[in-house]
């Protein structure tokens, strides 16, 4: 087990990456907190595989362990489920010195993280991500939140974990679609900063899609290294951290407009990146090479590259009220490989890019 430090000011923490490292949770949790009680927040499929290992490790280190199992899917990130979790915290009762453990994918991490951020005005959190998307992105950086009908993650808080444990072995039990969606975020890191990631994926597309653990571990490490560096320089997304949202402006609107149940997040990001590349191309920021390279890579990895036809006015409205819109619809675009930039393209350019992806 080795670590990558997320060097956020005043509260640096380690992302532990390795194989078979879940049993280290108790040691990490008690080493980083003064907790006497732990609330493990998880979902049914994850619990069946890993809850026994996780709770045993925590109890071996003399923690009083409680478990809350939330519904599956993005729909769990709701005010109603949040209320239930607050009630669970009160019933235990979970005190300010105690810890919440988020065991699962991005939904669990976002929701459990928001509970930790708000319960008793903030208690410690350990992220134990079990999907590729969560290991490379969602569990790192302290973003937490829930969804509303009006948009994704509109209610939330920045709340950094005290540690992250990314066990590569947990990826072996994922169904193919859930594993593959994580490549949406991995490709993003390759496009905005570390082009070696693209080379690795292109050379090992079949192995990546099949879940080769050695390759996945390398991809997780490189992705975490990118995110850790960006987050450390911009904790609250006031500057370059916004570059991590490449593909997300359209992706979040797509998820919202399709009721959060048609596309997994990484799938929406894949389509959103192609929209962003079309916009950049249309604005003359770069030529077609980036899009022509990215499209077959996403397809080879099993990610969607076509968008459904959706109401343009509705899409624009959702994108305009996104929490990152900041005086207009803001997109992260590329001026070249590894050269992200923030722009506010006009509506006609955006509509043409969406139409190109819809008709692709």
Catalytic residues: 121, 143, 185, 227, 237, 241, 245, 248, 252, 265
Coil, strand or helix at 9: coil
Coil, strand or helix at 129: strand
Exposure string for 47-76, b = 16+ CB within 10 A, e = fewer? bebbbebbbebbeeeebebbbbbbeeebeb
Q: In the structure encoding, which two tokens stand for residue 240, read together?
A: 């370059």
Could you identify the residue written with the tokens 């005086």? 327
Q: How many C-beta neighbours within 10 Å does residue 149 have?
A: 9
How far apart CA 14 and CA 314 sit, in angstroms, is 41
Query: Assign residue 61 a region: left if phi > 0, alpha if psi is -120 to 50, beta otherwise?
Result: alpha
How far apart CA 179 and CA 173 sit, in angstroms, is 9
Residue whose C-alpha is closest to residue 249's, from 158, 183, 188, 182? 188
Strand partners, 212: none
Name the CA dihedral angle for 110, 75, 70, 84, rounded to a multiple of 10 degrees. Answer: 90
Residue whose C-alpha is closest to residue 168's, from 50, 20, 55? 20
Read off φ and ψ for residue 338, nearest 5 degrees.
75, 15
CB 240 within 8 A of CB 233: yes
How far apart CA 241 and CA 248 sit, in angstroms, is 13
Name the CA dihedral angle for 239, 332, 313, 283, rounded to a multiple of 10 degrees. Answer: 130
For the chain, how big is the Rg over CA atoms in Å? Answer: 20
Spell out the SS3 assignment of 21-61: CHHHHHHHHHHHCCCCEEEEEEEHHHHHHHHHHHHHHHHHC
């Amino acid at each position: 087990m080795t670590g990558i430090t997320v060097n956020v000011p005043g509260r640096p923490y380690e992302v532990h990456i390795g194989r078979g490292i879940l049993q280290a949770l108790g040691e990490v949790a008690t080493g980083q907190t003064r907790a006497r009680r732990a609330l493990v927040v998880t979902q049914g499929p994850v619990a069946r595989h890993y809850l026994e290992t996780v709770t045993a490790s925590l109890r071996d280190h003399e923690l009083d362990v409680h478990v809350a199992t939330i519904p599956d899917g993005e729909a769990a990130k709701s005010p109603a489920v949040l209320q239930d979790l607050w009630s669970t915290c009160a019933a235990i009762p979970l005190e300010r010195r105690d810890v919440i453990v988020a065991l699962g994918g991005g939904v669990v991490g976002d929701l459990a993280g928001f509970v930790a951020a708000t319960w008793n005005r903030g208690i410690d959190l350990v992220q134990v991500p079990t999907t590729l998307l969560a290991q490379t992105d969602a569990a790192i950086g302290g973003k937490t939140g829930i969804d509303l009908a009006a948009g994704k993650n509109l209610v939330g808080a920045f709340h950094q974990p005290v540690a992250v444990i990314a066990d590569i072995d947990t990826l072996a039990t994922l169904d193919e679609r859930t594993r593959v969606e994580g490549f949406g975020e991995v490709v993003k890191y390759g496009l905005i900063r570390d082009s070696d990631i693209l080379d690795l994926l292109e050379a090992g597309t079949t192995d990546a899609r099949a879940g080769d653990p050695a390759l996945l571990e390398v991809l997780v490490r490189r992705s975490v290294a990118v995110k850790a560096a960006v987050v450390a320089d911009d904790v609250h997304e006031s500057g370059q951290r916004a570059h991590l949202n490449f593909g997300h402006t359209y992706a979040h609107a797509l998820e919202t407009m399709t009721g959060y149940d048609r596309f997994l997040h990484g799938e929406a990001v894949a389509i959103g990146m192609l929209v962003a590349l079309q916009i950049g191309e249309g604005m003359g920021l770069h030529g077609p090479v980036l899009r022509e390279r990215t499209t077959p890579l996403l397809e080879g990895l099993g990610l969607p590259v076509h968008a459904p036809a959706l109401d343009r006015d509705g899409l624009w409205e959702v994108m305009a009220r996104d929490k990152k819109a900041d005086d207009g619809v803001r997109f992260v675009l590329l001026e070249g490989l590894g050269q992200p930039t923030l722009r506010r393209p006009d509506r006609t350019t955006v509509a043409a890019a969406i139409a190109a992806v819809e008709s692709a």
